[in-house]
């Protein structure tokens, strides 16, 4: 890949500026030479156009009717052809360079955004809508591409055409030249007036588009729920309302554009007519030559029409500016530092954890964990039990530093957790998340996802066996190369969970966290996984979150959480011996089990 597009070598944070034009200029780092080349080519093309008119003037005034020779005529004809070729070549070159600049800049920008969004914090992603992020990384980036490809270069072209032609005209006849541009300040004023309004209208249009793509994205993810509740009509109405709003805003935006055109067209047209008329009078009076008049009529078009286009470009640039703002809002967000840490650990973790009055809350709302204190020796298994919403997931999410605890002290192998680099923790801690997620790739790719090395088929199978999923995979025609997800087979909830367990086991973490990892698995399979895990838990600190007593009773220490607090702590035997939630759950679950057995027995009879 070309160096200029590689994201690792370039930090787009530099391109964040309150001055949007400056920011856009900075975004072009590495491509500015190309852009200047494009502008220079334009200048050459514009100059040759003007020279063509001067040649025409020379022909009319000095050659025509002066007993011209065939040689002179040929020379002049060649001159016209040469100039046309010259202009064409440089117009082409300029377009090409501009396209390279624009595509190059946004290629890099897209890569950067993708990488950047992945590195933002969990908190950021909790609060941002996927659809909105997608829209900013596509539609807004595309608006920036248009800015670099058409608008930035277009402005250069217009300024050059204007400057060159006006300078020459001023030299030919300054009075006529000045008369021809009296309308220009007015056009600029009108453009600025529209620029402000179009910016606003476009911003609100893009916002609505983001809302719409969020709605679309959410409804696609939740299409099963929509169907299950037969809420298609309701969702359609909601979408239609949002879409109607977008239509309204789009119409308003177009209205602005369509108002701008006739106003400036009339102004420009009148200006040109007046210029032609006055010029003709001057030519008749002999103030200017006929050749000058002809050159003037050619050149004045290249002053007036570009000015009209300048207005259009200024108006269109406002869209680029708005998109710039929307994209840099993401770029401005701080990345989660992955490798930074005041402590640089050596080798693997032992896995000794000490919680001392640890408190935690998500964005300073109500506390989620309150003064959690316990200790866990290396290699121990620790279980968390508690009603839903009691804070179990939140507690284990602190360990890989997905979130930062807000009070107390949490040490890992004797060092405060906040001193560890996140990347190291995430390599050492394996977490089977409560909601399993698989990529739309093969099962093999999903299982080997977290391992940064080549793994043998035997290793993959061993992990899959331990997670009690090997036999299921073996039934697929493509085995481990079966595609899962949208383009392949759909796995059941329990099967997904087991693939995710295999993935985590394969990464061989020092601390293993199973967050309700077997919630979608039947009791028999859970037993098989548990038996396999017991062997694998040896030598690593393990956190088990589960709702079944059978899953947690093997732990060396069981914590019972309620509303973010530890209400009971001890081994299975200790907790059974005391009154409390644990014994209640135990009694309830055994009673259900006994009744179930009785039912099964009676059916069997
Ligand atoms: P959890 O820690 O998710 O509760 P839990 O894991 O014990 O529950 P379950 O058995 O259902 O998995 O949530 C504790 C509280 O924190 C709960 O009130 C929701 C809140 N919370 C957030 O505000 N943001 C989050 O990202 C999460 C995960 C939880
Ligand atoms: Mg949970």
Domain of 448, CATH number, reads 3.40.50.300
pLDDT in tens, 370-410: 999 999 999 999 999 998 889 999 999 999 999 999 999 99
Q: How far is the CA of 342 from the centre of ligand 1 (A)?
A: 30
What confidence score (pLDDT) does residue 571 get?
Answer: 92
Decide if 158 contacts 306 (C-beta within 8 A).
Answer: yes
Residue 6 resides in a domain: no
β-pairing, 407-412 vs 415-416, is antiparallel
Residue 386 and residue 295 share a domain: no
Q: Which of the four pLDDT bands, split at 50, 70 and 90, describes residue 158?
A: confident
The finding on whether 435 has its CB within 6 A of some atom of ligand 1 is: no
Residue 343 resides in a domain: no
For a mutational test of ligand 1's pocket, the pick from 360, 389, 561, 565, i.e. the residue with the most ligand atoms closer than 8 A to its C-beta, is 389
Residue 544 and residue 462 share a domain: yes
Domain of 132, CATH number, reads 1.20.1560.10
Residue 493 and residue 368 share a domain: yes
Residue 439 and residue 321 share a domain: no
Stretch (H or E) spanning 375: strand 369-376
β-pairing, 369-376 vs 511-515, is unpaired
Residue 580 resides in a domain: yes
Place of tokens 């600049």: 101
Please compute Rg for the chain using Cα positions: 36
DSSP assignment of 346-358 equals: -S-----EEEEEE
Kindly tell me if the per-residue pLDDT of 469 is higher than 80. Answer: yes
Residue 238 resides in a domain: yes
Residues 159-163, mean pLDDT to the nearest whole number: 85
Q: Which of the four pLDDT bands, split at 50, 70 and 90, describes residue 417?
A: very high
Q: What is the pTM of this model?
A: 0.83
391 CA closest ligand 1 atom index: 2
Strand partners, 386: 561
Nearest CA to ligand 1 atom 22: 362
Residue 359 and residue 315 share a domain: no
pLDDT in tens, 553-570: 889 999 999 999 999 999
Mean pLDDT estimate for the chain: 88
Structure tokens at 561: 């959480």
In the chain, what are the helix, strand and coil shares in percent, each to the nearest 5? 65, 10, 25
Sign of CA dihedral 489, 494, 495, 501: positive
Q: Which of the four pLDDT bands, split at 50, 70 and 90, describes residue 1?
A: very low
Residue 361 and residue 311 share a domain: no
Q: Assign 3-class secondary structure to 271-300.
A: HHHHHHHHHHHHHHHCCCCHHHHHHHHHHH
Residues 440-457, mean pLDDT to the nearest whole number: 89
DSSP assignment of 21-36 equals: HHHHHHHTTTTHHHHH
Q: How far is the CA of 385 from the centre of ligand 1 (A)?
A: 13
pLDDT in tens, 97-155: 999 999 999 999 999 999 999 999 999 999 888 888 998 999 899 999 999 988 888 88
Residue 538 and residue 455 share a domain: yes
Residue 325 and residue 186 share a domain: yes
Q: How far is the CA of 564 from the centre of ligand 1 (A)?
A: 10
Residue 227 resides in a domain: yes
Kindly tell me if the per-residue pLDDT of 546 is higher than 60. Answer: yes
Residue 467 and residue 359 share a domain: yes
Residue 337 resides in a domain: no
Kindly tell me if the per-residue pLDDT of 488 is higher than 80. Answer: no
Q: How far is the CA of 351 from the centre of ligand 2 (A)?
A: 22
Closest to 308 in 3D by CA, of 269, 255, 254, 252: 269
390 CA closest ligand 1 atom index: 7
126 CA closest ligand 1 atom index: 26
Residue 123 and residue 264 share a domain: yes
Closest to 463 in 3D by CA, of 405, 432, 420, 506: 506
* Residue 520 phi, psi (nearest 5): -100, 20
Structural domain count, the chain = 2
Nearest CA to ligand 1 atom 10: 388
Ligand nearest to the CA of 387: 1
The finding on whether 496 has its CB within 6 A of some atom of ligand 1 is: no
pLDDT in tens, 248-297: 999 998 888 888 888 888 888 898 899 999 999 999 998 888 888 988 88
Kindly tell me if the per-residue pLDDT of 543 is higher than 90. Answer: yes
pLDDT in tens, 200-228: 888 899 889 888 888 888 888 888 888 88
Domain of residue 199: give its range: 11-331
pLDDT in tens, 12-53: 888 888 888 888 888 888 899 998 899 889 889 988 988 998
Q: Could you give the angle at the alpha carbon of 97 between the alpha carbons of 93 and 102, nearest 5°?
A: 150
Residues 189-199, mean pLDDT to the nearest whole number: 83
Q: Which of the four pLDDT bands, split at 50, 70 and 90, describes residue 9?
A: low
Structure tokens at 337: 């530092």
Q: How far is the CA of 425 from the centre of ligand 2 (A)?
A: 20
Decide if 299 contacts 53 (C-beta within 8 A).
Answer: yes
What confidence score (pLDDT) does residue 2 get?
Answer: 45
Nearest CA to ligand 1 atom 9: 388
The finding on whether 564 has its CB within 6 A of some atom of ligand 1 is: no
Give the domain-ending residue among 274, 300, 331.
331
Residue 311 and residue 361 share a domain: no
Q: Which residues contact 442 (CB under 8 A, 6 or more apart)?
A: 478, 480, 481, 482, 483, 484, 488
Decide if 360 contacts 437 (C-beta within 8 A).
Answer: no
pLDDT in tens, 228-251: 888 999 999 999 999 999 999 999
What confidence score (pLDDT) does residue 84 get?
Answer: 94
Residue 301 and residue 357 share a domain: no
Residue 2 resides in a domain: no
Q: How far is the CA of 388 from the centre of ligand 1 (A)?
A: 8
Q: Which of the four pLDDT bands, split at 50, 70 and 90, describes residue 67?
A: low
Kindly tell me if the per-residue pLDDT of 4 is higher than 50. Answer: no
Residue 336 resides in a domain: no
The finding on whether 519 has its CB within 6 A of some atom of ligand 1 is: no
Nearest CA to ligand 1 atom 26: 126
């Amino acid at each position: 890949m070309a160096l200029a597009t590689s994201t690792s070598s370039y930090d787009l944070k530099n391109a964040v500026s309150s001055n949007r034009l400056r920011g856009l200029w900075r975004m072009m780092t590495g491509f500015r030479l190309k852009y200047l080349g494009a502008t220079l080519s334009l200048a050459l093309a514009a100059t040759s156009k003007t020279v063509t008119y001067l040649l025409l003037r020379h022909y009319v005034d000095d050659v025509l009717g002066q007993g011209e020779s065939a040689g002179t005529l040929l020379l002049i004809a060649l001159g016209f052809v040469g100039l046309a070729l010259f202009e064409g070549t440089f117009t082409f070159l300029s377009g090409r360079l501009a396209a390279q600049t624009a595509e190059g800049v946004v290629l890099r920008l897209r890569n950067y955004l993708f990488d950047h969004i992945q590195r933002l914090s969990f908190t950021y992603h909790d609060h941002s809508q996927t659809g909105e992020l997608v829209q900013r990384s596509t539609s807004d980036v595309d608006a920036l591409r248009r800015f670099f490809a058409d608008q930035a270069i277009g402005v250069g072209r217009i300024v050059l055409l204007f400057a060159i032609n006006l300078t020459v005209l001023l030299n030919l006849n300054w009075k006529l030249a000045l008369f021809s541009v009296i309308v220009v300040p007015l056009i600029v004023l009108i453009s600025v007036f529209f620029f402000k309004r179009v910016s606003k209208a476009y911003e609100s249009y893009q916002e609505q588009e983001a809302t719409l793509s969020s709605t679309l994205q959410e409804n696609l993810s939740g299409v099963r729920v929509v169907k299950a509740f037969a809420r298609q009509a309701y969702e359609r109405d909601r979408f239609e309302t949002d879409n109607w709003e977008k239509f309204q805003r789009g119409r308003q935006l177009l209205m602005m554009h369509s108002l701008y055109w006739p106003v400036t067209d009339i102004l420009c047209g009148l200006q040109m007519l007046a210029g032609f008329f006055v010029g003709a009078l001057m030519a008749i009076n002999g103030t200017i030559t006929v050749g000058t008049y002809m050159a003037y009529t050619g050149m004045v078009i290249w002053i007036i029409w570009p000015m009209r286009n300048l207005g259009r470009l200024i108006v269109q640039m406002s869209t680029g500016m708005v998109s710039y703002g929307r994209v840099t809002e993401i770029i401005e967000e701080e990345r989660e530092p992955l490798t930074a840490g005041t402590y640089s650990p050596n080798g693997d973790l032992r896995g000794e954890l000490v919680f001392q009055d640890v408190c935690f809350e998500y964005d300073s709302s109500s506390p989620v964990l309150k003064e959690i204190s316990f200790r866990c020796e290396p290699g121990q298994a620790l279980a968390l039990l508690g009603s839903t919403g009691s804070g179990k997931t939140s507690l284990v999410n602190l360990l890989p530093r997905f979130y930062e605890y807000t009070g107390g002290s949490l040490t890992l192998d004797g060092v405060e957790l906040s001193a560890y680099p996140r990347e190291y923790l995430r390599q050492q801690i394996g977490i089977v998340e409560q909601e399993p997620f698989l990529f739309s790739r093969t099962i093999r790719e999903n299982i080997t996802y977290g391992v940064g090395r080549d793994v043998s088929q035997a290793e993959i199978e061993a992990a899959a066996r331990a997670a009690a999923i090997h036999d299921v995979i073996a039934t697929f025609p493509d085995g481990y190369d079966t595609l899962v997800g949208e383009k392949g087979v759909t796995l059941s909830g329990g099967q997904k969970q087991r693939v995710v367990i295999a993935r985590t086991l394969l990464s061989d973490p020092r601390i293993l966290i199973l967050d309700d990892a077997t919630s979608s698995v039947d009791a028999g399979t859970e037993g098989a996984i548990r038996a396999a895990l017991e062997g694998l838990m040896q030598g690593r600190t393990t956190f088990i979150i589960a709702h079944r007593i059978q899953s947690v009773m093997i732990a060396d220490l069981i914590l019972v959480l309620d509303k973010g607090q530890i209400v009971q702590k001890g081994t299975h035997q200790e907790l059974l011996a005391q009154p409390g939630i644990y014994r209640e759950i135990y009694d309830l679950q055994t009673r259900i089990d006994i009744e179930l057995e009785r039912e099964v027995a009676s059916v069997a009879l």
